[in-house]
Amino acid sequence: MTDDIKILKRLYNDYTKKYLNKIILSAFFTLLLAGSTSSVAYLLDPAIKELFINKKKDLILIIPGLIVLAFVIKGASLYIAKVIMIGVSTNVTKNIQEDTFNSILNADTKLIENKHSGKFISNIQNDVAMITNLVSTVILNLFKDTLTLIGLLSVMFYQNWKLSLFAIIMIPVASFAAKSLGKRMGKITLEQMKRAGILSSYFMEILKNHKLAKIFQKEEFEKNRAENLIKKVTETSRKISVVFVRASPIMEVLTGIMIAILIYLSANMIYKGELEVSNFFSFLAAMMLAYQPVRSLATLNIAIKQGLAGAKSVLPIIDYIPEVKDRDQAKKLIIEDGEINYIDINFSYSKTEKKILNSINLTIPAKKMTALVGHSGAGKSTIFNLLPRFYDADSGDIKIDNQSIYNSTIYSLRKNISLVGQDTTLFDDTIFNNIAYASKDASINDVKKAAELSFSNEFIEKLPNNYNTIIGENGVRLSGGEKQRLSIARAILKKSPIILLDEATSSLDAETESKIQKAINILTKGRTTIVIAHRLSTIMNSDKIYVIDDGRVLEHGKHDELLKISSTYKNFYEKQLKRS
């Protein structure tokens, strides 16, 4: 319970407090709503007494008119109060989603890679919706139903305090029933959120790998998997709905028993002359109108438990503190030449795993090309990932122009690095926006120049909308070579002094590879470049080549030198000669 209160305080301070003036305004209109609802019940007393019993014709228009006015005020007040809280609700959703997204965006690569993207999407959409319901809809219902109940109870006590004392017994009984249902709801909601996240992850996997499912004839297999996952989600959804509606029969039974007893007591009081018929009908109307707010308040605990479950899932993401961050007094990295030094670098992805890099020492000469060669899993990509600080080394240092990257701001470090990888990443946007992603101030001429230098203009100009062509999710409408040329164009536009090329020319035909190699030569000219390539033909002219194996540097030198001193490198070379 203490943790729940802390979460509620956190939600109030971070997301609700700033809209307190709107919430108070909404509360004012719920006060009008409560007053108008109560007045409807109260007006039944003079309506029956003066119009039906005393038959006063001078009131035959006034009392019905007042009832109409009360309903007009009730309807208008409810509408305005809901519109105000809808505004609060959308703003709270926006704020929480922005905080969640920003935290994910700034999170360590390790966190992103260890959790499926589908689960993050479920957090941002489904779980945030539960929190929003807690801080908006619950607040509105709390004000509306509490004030309405107070107003109706006032009418009931005014008409007959003895009957009212008996009637209010239902409130604690209903609250007790709702409390037990709320505990059950919290457990089911956490289970639902977990299953919804798994289902979202699965859907994303299938959409991404639909061709794989088709070529291996796995449609039936995936259909069964989907049915199983959907069944689990629908089961928990059904359980949640059942818990919600379980309150209805409880309330109906309690209300039925109470009304029966009240009619019995009222009849006896009327026989004894202690209660007038008009007072009874006014009391009965107030009591019946009180049924809805009592029922709503009784189930409010269920919505609160759902919201708390969502908060317990989302707030840890918002509160996540990255391990890779600027150190105190970090300075702006200033690059003059661009020489890079890896000094006694050790690295493992977690404390329980073996070391991926062991005492790595590299000297990457400024404004020249250095290649990394080694078997898959040797540690080449990890060396790459440490330079822009996607990860931080366990020990050792990396320096650029004798400035430690760990004492430099991450922004200034990454601003000076461009990455072109084999698995090109593009957005479902126009070609212009994909290239211009490297520079927010890029003009159309800047983008066209980068496209020309990367030979991208050759295919862009053949497209129906040229630079305004939408290329689909991750460039699905382009070939592999076209996507890589766009990636190179983006790197050219960035104009950074350090270039990272991760197997950029693998899996391409000879003509396309030739064009990309020319584009890479333009990109890397006069820039410090580190390149990984399984095909040695792409790196034979590198100024320096490091042979990496099992996280260690075996040898380094130029191509001709390594053929003489490195059996590993020579083995690579001879195998590729046989293939060709």
Q: Are 310 and 138 in contact (CB under 8 A)?
A: no
163 located within any domain: yes
Residue 182, pLDDT score: 56
Residues 6+ apart with CB under 8 A from 115: none
Could you give the CA distance from residue 217 to residue 213 in angstroms, rounded to a whole number?
A: 6
Task: Establish if 511 belongs to a structural domain.
Answer: no
Q: Phi/psi class of residue 425: alpha, beta or left (left: φ > 0; alpha: ψ in -120 to 50)?
A: beta
Please, what is the Cα angle at 248 between 243 and 251, to 5 degrees? 125
Handedness of CA 330, 332, 334, 338 (dihedral sign): positive
CATH code for the domain of 78: 1.20.1560.10
440: phi then psi, degrees, rounded to nearest 5: -65, -20
- Are both 407 and 547 inside the same structural domain? yes
Which residues constitute the domain of residue 539? 333-416+499-505+526-580
| Tally of domains within the chain | 3
Determine the Cα angle at 475 with ends 469 and 480, to 5°: 120
Taking alpha carbons only, the member of 20, 288, 289 closest to residue 148 is 289
Whether residue 71 is found in the same domain as residue 189: yes
For residues 32 and 176, membership in a common domain is answered with yes
For residue 344, tell me if it sits in a domain: yes
Please state whether beta strands 395-400 and 498-502 pair in parallel, antiparallel, or not at all (unpaired).
Answer: unpaired
- In 3-state terms, what secondary structure has residue 50? helix
Q: For residue range 548-557, list pLDDT tens digits in order.
A: 888 888 888 8
Beta bridge partners of 556: 546
| Alpha-helix residue ranges (DSSP H) falling in 12-137 | 20-46, 62-106, 109-114, 117-122, 128-132
Q: Output the 3-class SS for 408-428.
A: ECHHHHHHCEEEEECCCCCCC
- Residue 510 covered by a domain: no
Query: Do both 457 and 545 map to the same domain?
Result: no
Owner of token pair 């020309």: 452
328 belongs to a structural domain? no
| Contacts of 442 by beta carbon, 8 Å cutoff, 6+ apart | 435, 436, 493
Distance CA 78, CA 408 (A): 56
pTM: 0.75
Count the neighbouring beta carbons within 10 Å of the beta carbon of residue 445.
Answer: 8
Q: What is the pLDDT of residue 357?
A: 87
Q: Are residues 372 and 279 in the same domain?
A: no
Check if the beta carbon of residue 233 is closer than 8 Å to that of residue 192. yes
The answer to whether 475 and 440 are in contact (CB under 8 A) is no
Look at residues 318, 348, 370 and tell me which one is the last residue of a structural domain: 318
Are residue 175 and residue 51 in the same domain, yes or no? yes
What's the pLDDT score for residue 211?
56
State the CATH number of the domain containing residue 424: 3.40.50.300
Q: Which of 521, 498, 495, 516 shows the shortest CA–CA distance to 424?
A: 516
| Residue 349: DSSP 8-state | S
* In contact, 394 and 476? CB cutoff 8 Å: no
* Cβ 118 vs Cβ 195: under 8 Å: no
Residue-wise pLDDT tens for the chain (580 aa)? 577 788 888 888 888 888 889 888 988 898 888 888 888 887 777 777 777 777 777 778 888 888 889 889 988 998 998 888 888 888 888 888 888 888 888 887 777 777 766 777 777 777 888 888 877 777 777 888 888 888 888 888 888 777 777 777 766 665 565 556 555 666 677 677 677 777 777 766 776 666 556 655 666 777 787 788 778 778 777 777 776 666 667 667 777 777 788 788 888 888 888 778 877 778 777 777 777 777 777 667 777 877 888 888 888 888 888 888 888 888 898 988 889 999 999 988 876 677 888 888 999 999 888 888 888 788 888 888 899 888 888 899 999 999 999 999 988 998 888 888 777 777 777 888 888 888 878 888 888 888 888 888 888 888 888 888 887 777 777 777 788 888 888 888 888 898 888 865 555 666 667 777 788 888 888 889 888 876 776 777 788 888 888 888 888 888 888 888 888 878 877 777 655 5
3-state class (DSSP) for residue 495: coil
Answer yes or no: are the C-beta atoms of 107 and 321 closer than 8 Å: no
Q: Does residue 249 lie in a domain region? A: yes
**Among 443, 473, 495, residue at a domain's last position:** 495
Comparing C-alpha atoms, which of 418, 421, 423, 486 is closest to residue 458? Answer: 486
Cα 20 from Cα 12, distance rounded (Å): 9
- What does residue 115 show for φ and ψ, rounded to 5 degrees? -130, 135
The Cβ of residue 521 has, within 10 Å, a number of other Cβ atoms equal to 11
Q: Evaluate the CA torsion angle 228, 229, 230, 233 in order and state its sign.
A: positive
- Assess whether 65 and 192 both reside in one domain: yes
Same domain, 375 and 453: no
In a domain, 459, yes or no: yes
Q: How far apart are CA 109 and CA 254, in angstroms?
A: 56
Query: Tokens 């189930």 appear where?
Result: 299
Q: How far, in Å, CA of 96 to CA of 307, rounded?
A: 13
Tell whether 476 and 454 lie within a shared domain: yes
pLDDT of residue 86: 85
- Select from 291, 318, 345 the last residue of a domain: 318
Q: Based on the fold, state whether residues 176 and 199 are members of the same structural domain.
A: yes
pLDDT at 344: 92
* 341: phi then psi, degrees, rounded to nearest 5: -130, 120
Q: What is the pLDDT of residue 342?
A: 93
Residue 193 lies in a domain: yes
Q: What is the per-residue DSSP string for 241-268?
A: HHHHHHHHHHHHHHHHHHHHHHHHHHHH
Backbone dihedral region of 55: left (phi > 0), alpha (psi from -120 to 50 degrees) or beta? left
**Two structure tokens written together for 241:** 């709905």
Q: What is the pLDDT of residue 52?
A: 75
At 61, list the tokens.
Answer: 């228009």
Distance CA 40, CA 36 (A): 6
Q: Is the dihedral of CA 430, 432, 435, 437 positive or negative?
A: negative
| Alpha-carbon distances of 41 from 35, 66, 169, 530, rounded to whole Å | 10, 12, 20, 81
